[in-house]
Amino acid sequence: MAATIRIAVLGASGYTGADLVRLALTHPGVEIRALAASQSAGKAMADVWPHMRIYPNLPPLLRAEDMPWDEIDAVFGCLPHAASAELLAQIDPRIRIIDLSADFRLDDEHIYAEWYGVAHPAPALMQQAVYGLTELARDSLPEARLVACPGCYPTAALLALLPVARAGLVKPANITINALSGVTGAGRSLKQSNLFAEIAEATAPYGLGHHRHMPEMEQELAKAFGQPLRISFTPHLLPMNRGELATITVELGAGATIGQLRACLVECYADAPFVHVLPEGVAPATRMVRGSNHVVINVFADRIAGRAIIVSAIDNLVKGSSGQALQNFNLMFGLPEDQGLQAAPLFP
Amino acid sequence: MAATIRIAVLGASGYTGADLVRLALTHPGVEIRALAASQSAGKAMADVWPHMRIYPNLPPLLRAEDMPWDEIDAVFGCLPHAASAELLAQIDPRIRIIDLSADFRLDDEHIYAEWYGVAHPAPALMQQAVYGLTELARDSLPEARLVACPGCYPTAALLALLPVARAGLVKPANITINALSGVTGAGRSLKQSNLFAEIAEATAPYGLGHHRHMPEMEQELAKAFGQPLRISFTPHLLPMNRGELATITVELGAGATIGQLRACLVECYADAPFVHVLPEGVAPATRMVRGSNHVVINVFADRIAGRAIIVSAIDNLVKGSSGQALQNFNLMFGLPEDQGLQAAPLFP
Amino acid sequence: MAATIRIAVLGASGYTGADLVRLALTHPGVEIRALAASQSAGKAMADVWPHMRIYPNLPPLLRAEDMPWDEIDAVFGCLPHAASAELLAQIDPRIRIIDLSADFRLDDEHIYAEWYGVAHPAPALMQQAVYGLTELARDSLPEARLVACPGCYPTAALLALLPVARAGLVKPANITINALSGVTGAGRSLKQSNLFAEIAEATAPYGLGHHRHMPEMEQELAKAFGQPLRISFTPHLLPMNRGELATITVELGAGATIGQLRACLVECYADAPFVHVLPEGVAPATRMVRGSNHVVINVFADRIAGRAIIVSAIDNLVKGSSGQALQNFNLMFGLPEDQGLQAAPLFP
Amino acid sequence: MAATIRIAVLGASGYTGADLVRLALTHPGVEIRALAASQSAGKAMADVWPHMRIYPNLPPLLRAEDMPWDEIDAVFGCLPHAASAELLAQIDPRIRIIDLSADFRLDDEHIYAEWYGVAHPAPALMQQAVYGLTELARDSLPEARLVACPGCYPTAALLALLPVARAGLVKPANITINALSGVTGAGRSLKQSNLFAEIAEATAPYGLGHHRHMPEMEQELAKAFGQPLRISFTPHLLPMNRGELATITVELGAGATIGQLRACLVECYADAPFVHVLPEGVAPATRMVRGSNHVVINVFADRIAGRAIIVSAIDNLVKGSSGQALQNFNLMFGLPEDQGLQAAPLFP
């Protein structure tokens, strides 16, 4: 049996950090060697997370500066943007990085500065990053030192769009993405808008006309189409913990049909263990994938002639974040793609 | 003091029927004279509804054929489509009708037959109906014998779209309506898909490319634009009881601006007690109107140039159904528009 | 028509303050003259509360020291304990006070100091307070200057227990109160334990063996029994916004029967517009009273011989807080008991 | 590697059946050979369950009479009571049975008839059954042919009570169990009371004074105490999918202390991989164990002298049903106790 890979998780007091630990706990090839969480340093995971109560033997939470970098083979970065790049730029190049922040997703530091409001802390490192939408980045992962995991919305949207964009089956004009997300997407920060009583029994859109996942989606779509484009994207917050659904209206390419779009996606994901194009007519639902790394996608005719509706659903914390990070890690280290990720979705 | 108007509610065992009764209970100009619910006939409202436990003196549930029509001035129809028209066609023309079913919303019986799968039971009566989107039908209501209350999705979407369509500020092409609804919109029927455990913690779209509210919206928009059109409409079911939100992307008319759209809506609803165009930049949310007859609307620039996003939120059971019915009733009978509807939204 | 009474609400940025405003908005005898909320001073209610968006003309939020006390007839105190007494002790004795904090519920300042960890800021004022469990304090309210509204748990428990305790139908020993509450009971403060993702899909008890509502319940029960006693009380937090349910096991007094307990409660509340003893066998549920000032109670035989289970349900923000405050206000000022409180429960 | 054990699941269209399949899918020692669900026979699991969409290769649903019993080593019975015993009495004695119904939990067929309203269909088989509260039945499982898995409430309550009862640390008198359960405990049947809109945002007790889990708990407690007893048990339905919490008040045995109770439980479960006595003062919460087979327990002093409060939390579908069944199966077949059950709890 192969030696286990020693991992560290930075930002283990956030939802994505905790979900990374949850999944890594049952990954046979991984040893959770160290955990960092600056504001909770000194505490145990059991004190910070209810579902970690039963794991009293996890490593304690450290300050980032106290991490035993010598004993780490791979680090998962679950820190806020800017903080992530600043820290990761300083660690030993021997250590491979799977970053879940926004810091290494964009190719262009100027666009980063424009959307994130700060100069990029590590522009050189930015250039080394592989954009880790796993299914469409598979070849680049084994050699990558630094993988930037996509945002949750881009994961749901791009898995649905990139194959048909590359195949010329849809037009770059007027791509309209409506997305619905569970509240864990907003993080664990103490904001009034995250309180139970403010969220339950209600919904609303946010980031109307301007959301940080826009440039990331436009960047990848531009590569697929071979031309720059602008998309419409409107996310909504829903009264549920997990789950993300993208409902995307597109204009069909000349002569393209709904059947061709479905066939293109079926073929593209034929060997992908986590992406499932549903039988014709079956609508994707977040309950199909809750708690798992799976993705469900389907294509429908729009009532407006010449248009299609593509729908995809993920768990925002798993395929939209920590699960995809682990999937990328597996491919970086030559492990089976689904290791640590085999648990079936949890329903109800 | 004016004599009270004696009302009957048909279908009092459904969510819209019950919400009608809930509102009518505090309407000073109304006497709830009779209630019908075929399958629950013989029971008390207190046995059928938890929140009616405290009103043991409401009239008992009757079969429709046992209703004391002689003692009724106005009837609220909360029955399923087809059943509604069949019954209402038989009652005394003296009795004024506010129908909440789909039976009298469409102008064309052929389109009705196509979408509802049955021949219309009362095509002559169909022609007398006023389409009761209250704010835009105010002049026709005082004389109307039969008012057809709009569907919940059309209410949210058309209040946002009709004024700007009439003003030529948006184009009829590519109107894309994404809508989110609480589960009461699916009714109280015993379907697996309505069970708590199937709905909670999840979301999904339904009726993709084909939903019965489409022809209704297209009919009213065609009148506003002066030409036929097709719209894109995708509803989603959310894990909440009440609330409905429409996120609509439109193409701006030649030379039109976001500011003009907002101004047009502000002006149109200046005297409407229930429709509120929010301050610039504030996103409508269903929590703003829960349990009330109010509507909140706003307009935003889309990231794609030349397009706008219009968002509106209602309570699907109140403004989207029973509240608007009562509002129509008030105007039909010359009562203050907001009588019985003054209660503030319930939050949290 | 009588002149309206000019009210002020202190703490209008909290859930109880907002629910007071919500109810007062439709109270015909009330003018909302001033609102205070120190941390949000300068803002409009519309900026602080989603459901107040549609009321742009409410008075602005002031600092407590800027309140126009000269123009106020009655003040509703919705402040945290200690802060409430400190402020209320300073206002003109002409102004009548309905306090929703814990500051004036206890008779004994030493017990207050023991449970709340601070010396009482206004012990003299404490002695003037009437304990405002409305149905059992009716005679004292018209003359009261200061009414202390009970805690939400004491309201649910004492309405069920006091009549049967006074009648000697239950014993003081081993009264065990298990209670369930929606999260608004925990307030709007920014605590991790109040976040949606921490609360949804889960439950837990809190305050085990030690909760501040204990001395309040023991004080009132001791008066009813004519002897001191200790009770068992365990509250649980539930994933819902509103609603509170108390399930109470008691030992029957010598010779007492379940039927006698029910009859005693029926008789006690025969003329109470808001308290309903349900038909035999019907279990109280919070959905029966949501959003309203109503209370539902019932009595059941326990499987252990000689014991009974009494269950009562309220909306914690209405009868458990702001609604009862308004009910007390009505009786203090000689208004109809249910004014501003007639809206039916909201279900679903 | 050992040969896999071929299992069948009867009642795969119910929540417990589906959760059994969910867990078995990742159990390395198990082959899911056959699935039965009479009313859904002929359908695929993917058509009956949203989260099974991604497993199109599961065996199809059969009628019970079409099961390939020759190819089955062990059967999990997830049928309703009476139906379960009737069917299981007919299968080859070679096949080992893990039954999740109520049919084999009671020792006495007369008590069964009294509480379940039917004569027991297989009284002889009843006598062979081992009561499978795993941690307290470990020695009997390897040789058992038929294991009766406890009800969900008894699992939560008895794990907390039996050790301290056996040790004489608590008295048999006045044991009062208040329990809270997610709605999956009510099954997937089409009842109005299971609809989302009836359950969300509300709670209520049910089965007051009379619930079928009472005789089961009394039977096992009577064995522990060495004398018959009656308990008080009041379950409540909560607006959440999964999770069950028991809050139990007990009278301490002569001279017993809270510390002794805790120590007794700590010692009893020292080697149990799934049962965790929490650190002093930490309240059990269902979020600590959601989706997992784990149990968290703790003991607190009651405010009434001489009494304790014991709290335990489980996932009603896992430790309360399918997980415990699989845990029993593992011990019956000499497999590691936690095989197929290692996944960490899912939070949020």
Q: Judge if D225 and D191 occupy the same domain.
A: yes
CA distance linking residue D237 with residue C226, whole number of Å? 36
Across the range D203-207, mean pLDDT stands at 98
Search chain A and give the residue with CA nearest B172.
Answer: A304
CA B62/CA B75 separation, integer angstroms: 14
For position A1, what pLDDT does the model report? Answer: 46
**Percent of chain C surpassing pLDDT 70:** 99
- Residue in D224, D217, D216, D223 with CA at minimum distance from that of residue D168: D224
User: Which domain-ending residue is among D93, D128, D163?
Assistant: D128
For chain D, the first-to-last Cα distance in angstroms comes to 36
Strand, helix or coil for residue A29: coil
> Looking at residue D72, what is its pLDDT?
98
d(CA D330, CA D337) in angstroms, rounded, equals 5
Question: What is the average per-residue pLDDT within B47-74?
Answer: 97
Residue C309 is assigned to a structural domain of this protein: yes
Residue of D nearest to A25 (CA): D344
In this predicted structure, the answer to whether residue B1 has a pLDDT above a threshold of 50 is no
Residues of B within 8 A of A241 (CB-CB) are 201
Q: How distant is the Cα of D103 from the closest Cα of chain B, in angstroms?
A: 25
**Domain identity same for A161 and A300:** yes
Please check whether residue B192 touches A, CB under 8 A: no
Q: What is the average pLDDT value for chain A, to the nearest integer?
A: 97
Q: Establish if A45 belongs to a structural domain.
A: yes
Of D228, D277, D251, nearest to D108 (Cα)? D228
User: Average of pLDDT values for C10-28?
Assistant: 97
C175 & C40 share domain: no
Phi and psi torsions of B62, nearest 5°: -110, 165
Question: What H or E segment, with its residue span, contains residue D68?
Answer: none
d(CA A115, CA A111): 6
In chain D, the residue whose alpha carbon lies closest to the alpha carbon of B197 is: D241
The CA distance from C155 to D347, in Å, is: 34
Q: Is the pLDDT of residue C1 over 50?
A: no
Domain co-membership, D165 together with D290: yes
**D109 & D199 share domain:** no
For residue B82, the tally of other CB atoms under 10 A from its CB is 19
- For chain D, the C-alpha Rg in angstroms (whole number) is 20
| A69-119 pLDDT, tens digit each | 999 999 999 999 999 999 999 999 999 999 999 999 999 999 999 999 999
The reply to whether A174 and A294 lie within a common domain is yes
Check if the beta carbon of residue D221 is closer than 8 Å to that of residue D162.
Answer: yes
- Residues of chain D contacting residue B184, judged by C-beta atoms under 8 Å apart: 197
Q: Does D138 touch chain C (CB under 8 A)?
A: no
| Dist CA A262 CA A246 (whole Å) | 16
D6 — contact with chain A (CB < 8 Å)? no
Chain C residues within 8 A of B278 when measuring between CB atoms: 53
Please compute the mean of the pLDDT values over residues D278-292 and round it to a whole number. 98
**pLDDT confidence of D3, banded at 50, 70, 90?**
confident
Q: Does residue C193 surpass a pLDDT of 50?
A: yes
List Cα–Cα distances, B245 to B217, B326, C62, in angstroms. Answer: 15, 21, 33
Are residues B98 and B173 located together in one domain of the fold? no
3-state secondary structure of D286: helix
DSSP string, B306-326: TEEEEEEEE-TTIIIIIHHHH
Burial of D57 (0-12, 13-18, 19+ CB in 10 A): exposed
Provide the phi-psi class of C45: left if phi over 0, else alpha when psi is between -120 and 50, else beta: alpha
- Residues of A with Cβ-Cβ distance to D342 under 8 angstroms: 26
Query: Tokens in use for D171?
Result: 């008295």
| CATH (domain of B191) | 3.30.360.10
Which residues from chain B sit within 8 angstroms of residue D183, using beta carbons?
A: 196-197
Report CA C39 to chain centroid distance, whole Å. Answer: 24
Residue ranges of alpha helices (H) inside B129-240 are 152-166, 196-199, 213-225
pLDDT in tens, C221-239: 999 999 999 999 999 999 9
D323 contacts D315 by C-beta, under 8 angstroms: yes
**Residue D246 domain flag:** yes
Positive or negative torsion for Cα C253, C255, C257, C259 = negative
3-state secondary structure at position D270? coil
Give the gap in angstroms from C-alpha C91 to the nearest C-alpha of chain D: 38
Q: Is the peptide bond before B163 cis (omega within 30 degrees of 0)?
A: no
**Which residue in chain C is spatially nearest to D348 when comparing CA positions?**
C197
pLDDT band for B2, please (50, 70, 90 cuts). Answer: low
- Tally of domains in chain B: 2
C-chain CB neighbours of A199 within 8 Å are 196
pLDDT at B214 over 50: yes
Assign A52 a pLDDT band (cuts: 50, 70, 90).
Answer: very high
Range of the domain at B191: 153-316
Answer yes or no: is pLDDT of A249 > 50.
Answer: yes
Record the tokens describing residue D272, joined without a space.
């149990």
Contact at CB, C287 and D198, closer than 8 angstroms: yes
Q: What is the dihedral of CA B321, B325, B327, B330, to 10 degrees?
A: -170
Q: What is the DSSP letter of B253?
A: P
Q: In whole angstroms, what is the distance from residue B50 CA to residue C278 CA?
A: 11
Rg of chain B taking only CA atoms, in angstroms:
20
Q: Cα–Cα distance between A46 and A55 in angstroms, integer?
A: 7
Torsion region of D291: left, alpha or beta (phi above 0 gives left; psi -120 to 50 gives alpha): left
Give the residue from C189, B176, D77, B121 showing the smallest Cα distance to A198: C189
Q: Which residues contact D257 (CB under 8 A, 6 or more apart)?
A: none
Instruction: Please compute the mean of the pLDDT values over residues A138-163 and round it to a whole number.
Output: 98
Q: Where are the beta strands (DSSP E) in A182-220?
A: 204-205
pLDDT of residue D58: 98
Mean pLDDT of D174-185: 97
Model confidence pLDDT, tens digit, residues A273-329 = 999 999 999 999 999 999 999 999 999 999 999 999 999 999 999 999 999 999 999
Rounded to whole angstroms, the Cα distance separating A316 from A341 reads: 15
Q: Which among D26, D289, D294 is the nearest to A344, CB-wise?
A: D26
| Domain match, D266 and D159 both | yes
pLDDT at C321 over 80: yes
Predicted confidence band of residue D2 (pLDDT cuts 50, 70, 90): low
Which residues of A are catalytic, by number?
Answer: 152
Q: Are residues C124 and C162 in the same domain?
A: no
Q: Where are the beta strands (DSSP E) in D78-198?
A: 96-99, 130-131, 146-148, 176-181
Please indicate if any CB of chain D lies within 8 Å of the CB of A94: no
A49 interfacial to chain D (CB closer than 8 Å):
yes
| Same domain flag for D172 and D118 | no
Q: Cβ C26–B241 below 8 Å, yes or no?
A: no
Nearest to C324 by CA among C150, C175, C161, C84: C150
User: Do A292 and A315 touch, CB atoms closer than 8 A?
Assistant: yes
| Secondary structure (DSSP) of D223-242 | HHHTS----EEEEEE-SSSS
Give me the phi and psi of D181, to 5 degrees please.
Answer: -135, 145
Helices (H), chain B: 15-24, 45-48, 83-88, 109-116, 123-128, 152-166, 196-199, 213-225, 258-268, 323-332
Mutate to test the interface with B, among A174, A177, A201 (most CBs of B within 10 A): A201
Q: What is the pLDDT of residues B306-346, one digit of tens each?
A: 999 999 999 999 999 999 999 999 999 999 999 999 999 99
| Closest residue of chain C to B185, computed from CA coordinates | C348
Percent of chain B with pLDDT over 70: 99
What is the model's pLDDT at position A3? 79
Q: Is residue B341 part of a domain?
A: no
- Beta strands B275-277 and B295-301, pairing class: parallel
Phi, psi angle pair for C271, to nearest 5°: -105, 10
Nearest CA in chain D to A317: D348
- Reply yes or no on whether D152 is catalytic: yes
- Cα–Cα dist A260/A301, whole Å: 12
Tell me the C-alpha distance between B322 and B152, whole Å: 10
Tell me: do B67 and B160 sit in the same domain.
no
Cβ atoms of residues C19 and B291 within 8 Å: no
Residues of chain B neighbouring D198 (CB-CB closer than 8 A): 50, 196
- Put simply, whether D197 touches B (Cβ < 8 Å) is yes
The terminus-to-terminus CA distance of chain A in angstroms comes to 36
Place of tokens 């995971």: A45
Neighbouring chains of B at 3+ CB pairs within 8 Å?
A, C, D
Residues of C with Cβ-Cβ distance to D200 under 8 angstroms: 240, 348
Catalytic: which of D78, D152, D264, D268?
Answer: D152
Dist CA A188 CA A190 (whole Å):
7
Q: What is the DSSP letter of D154?
A: H
B191 touches chain D (CB under 8 A): yes
With cut-offs at 50, 70 and 90, classify the pLDDT of residue B3: confident
Asked if D243's CB is within 8 angstroms of C238's CB, the reply is no
Q: What is the mean pLDDT of chain D?
A: 97
Kindly list the partner chains of chain D, i.e. chains with 3 or more CB atom pairs below 8 Å: A, B, C
How high is the pLDDT of residue C3? 80
CB nearest to A195's CB, from C194, C239, C240: C194
The reply to whether B102 and B163 lie within a common domain is: no
Q: Verify whether the Cβ–Cβ distance B346 to C49 is below 8 Å.
A: no
Residue type, position B346, single letter: L
The C-alpha atoms of residue A305 and residue C31 are separated, in whole angstroms, by: 56
Quick one: tokens of A277? 């194009």
- D265 belongs to a structural domain: yes
> Taking each helix axis from N to C terminus, what angle separates D109-116 and D213-225, rounded to the nearest 10 degrees?
150
D159: in domain: yes
b/e per residue, B264-276, with b = 16+ CB within 10 A? bbeebbeebbbbb
D229 within some domain: yes
On the question of a cis peptide bond just before residue C142, with omega within 30 degrees of 0, the verdict is: no
Q: Is C348 on the interface with A (CB under 8 A)?
A: no
Residue D300 lies in a domain: yes
CB atoms within 10 A of CB B342: 15
Cβ-Cβ pairs closer than 8 A, A with C, add up to 56
- From chain B residues 226-255, the ones with a CB under 8 A of any chain A CB are 230-234, 236, 238-243, 245, 247, 249
| Cβ–Cβ below 8 Å for C232 and D174 | no
pLDDT at A2 over 70: no
Whole-prediction pTM: 0.97
The DSSP line for A102-113 is: STTT-S-HHHHH
Query: CB atoms < 10 A from the CB of B83, how many?
Result: 17
In chain C, residues 266-325 whose CB comes closer than 8 Å to chain D: 283-287, 290, 300-305, 307, 309, 311, 313
Contact list in C for residue A52 (CB cut-off 8 A) is: none
Interface test with A, best of D53, D184, D342 (most A CBs within 10 A): D53
Q: Does B343 contact C at CB distance below 8 Å?
A: yes
